[in-house]
Structure 1
Amino acid sequence: MRIASSQKITTFLMFEGDAEAAMAFYVSLFDDAEVVAVSHYGADGPGVEGTVRQATFALAGQQFMCIDSPAPHAFTFTPAVSLFVQCADEAELERLYAALGEGGKELMAPGEYGFSRRFGWVQDRFGVSWQLNLPG
């Protein structure tokens, strides 16, 4: 018998100064998207004043968290972990691919790869990797 738990798992994105811009960009691209909560570092730190201490946002009903790390680090996002989006139609896939790819990096151009009708993989200008899929 499984006991109910209050445990919740949420995708957490760590930026170095771009969290607010990334969050606003993502919310602008998806339906049912909103910034749920955001708090900023004040003058007393430890992060740069005005950067994101902690934020929660939702895309298509899925919640994400993000921060601007107060500590510099030698790592960033990797395509080994990506956000997978089931697109409603080809127009949506192309729109998202173009927007997310602007200033980013193409990992797989939109096309038919045998495992879906249409698929594209792109790393956005913030370094976050997105797989865009048209099922069927």
Structure 2
Amino acid sequence: MKVTPFLMFEGRAEEAMALYCETVPGSSVLDVTRYGAGEDGPEGTVKLARASIGGQEVMIFNSPVHHAFTFTPSFWFFVDCSSDEEQDRIIDVLSKDGSFLMPTGNYGFSQRFAWLNDRFGVSWQINLP
């Protein structure tokens, strides 16, 4: 058995996947299937992809159907960083055009922690253990 997180976007899957793979160390696109002529989504756009985000395999999908819901902070990616600089860089990139749920600070359980929603609405907890 294998359990894989699955992120559904509406047209911005490739942009999100590129941002995550460029920002989180140890990340890469594993494979991409694109919509073809006559399919429900715009031809050439990401239909379904697999990416390794910091070593965690994630499925990424562009839904051709509009949904009345989006991402929720009840699900997030938790990233342990190895330095202040790495944490600052990741927070700076992922928070651009996003919003903080908990700005970077010492919350007792961590000396340096931030929780944010990125520009796509995906939630991230960025920790420096």
Q: Determine if the TM-score, normalized by the shorter chain, exceeds 0.5.
A: yes
2:103 alignment partner in structure 1: 109
> Is 1:54 the counterpart of 2:48 in the alignment?
yes
Choose which of 18, 36, 41 in structure 2 pairs with 1:24: 18
What stretches of structure 1 move > 6 A for 4+ residues in a row? none
Letter in 2 for 1:131: Q
Structure 1 regions of 5+ residues with no counterpart? 1-6
**What is the correspondence of 1:30-109 to structure 2 with a 5 Å cutoff?**
30-109=24-103
1:9 alignment partner in structure 2: 3
Letter in 1 for 2:9: F
Identity of aligned pairs, percent? 50
Which shifted more, 47-56 or 79-88?
47-56
Give the 3-state SS of the residue equivalent to 2:70 in structure 1: coil
Aligned pair count reads: 129
Give the superposition deviation at 1:93: 1.2
Give the superposition deviation at 1:99: 0.6
Structure 2 regions of 5+ residues with no counterpart? none
Letter in 2 for 1:83: F
| Structure 1 Cα separation of the partners of residues 46 and 23 of structure 2 | 20
TM-score normalised according to structure 2 size: 0.96
| Structure 1 Cα separation of the partners of residues 79 and 25 of structure 2 | 12
TM-score normalised according to structure 1 size: 0.91
Give the 3-state SS of the residue equivalent to 1:98 in structure 2: helix
